Amino acid sequence: NAGVTQTPKFQVLKTGQSMTLQCAQDMNHNSMYWYRQDPGMGLRLIYYSASEGTTDKGEVPNGYNVSRLNKREFSLRLESAAPSQTSVYFCASSEVGLAGVIGETQYFGPGTRLLVL
């Protein structure tokens, strides 16, 4: 039981390049999330998916797109990377469904460190 896995662990991009961050969970969770972590700002939600086939914007969605490929996988794409997107990106999952089961724990992956030059 690997929990939440993320690839790659570290990436360097040049401004304007594109890349996709991959996330997978093996806990059969309905909901998945992408956060970015910047010093002094805590974690900010980029996008989330409350269930397979649905995605919604979070607090800071500009410059990103997501795909909920299936129940296990939720990818984050940077179409044209900018230095402002230098950050640590975390994927998380939770057993929360559309019926509004709330208060459930979110489980986090180890993170992807992204540097945009």
Partner 1 sequence: AQSVTQLGSHVSVSEGALVLLRCNYSSSVPPYLFWYVQYPNQGLQLLLKYTTGATLVKGINGFEAEFKKSETSFHLTKPSAHMSDAAEYFCAVSDRGYNQGGKLIFGQGTELSVKP
Nearest distance in Å: CB 48, partner 1: 5
Nearest distance in Å: CB 82, partner 1: 23
Of 13, 55, 3, residue with least CA distance to 34: 55
Closer residue to partner 1 (CB): 47 or 85: 47
Residue 38 CA from chain centroid, whole number: 14
Closer residue to partner 1 (CB): 82 or 115: 115
Of 83, 81, 84, 66, residue with least CA distance to 23: 66
Nearest distance in Å: CB 81, partner 1: 22
Which residues form the interface with partner 1 (CB under 8 A)? 4, 31, 33, 35, 40-45, 48-51, 56, 58, 90, 92, 94, 96, 98, 100-111
User: How far, in Å, are 28, 40, 83, 104 from residue 47 at the CA level?
Assistant: 19, 20, 20, 18
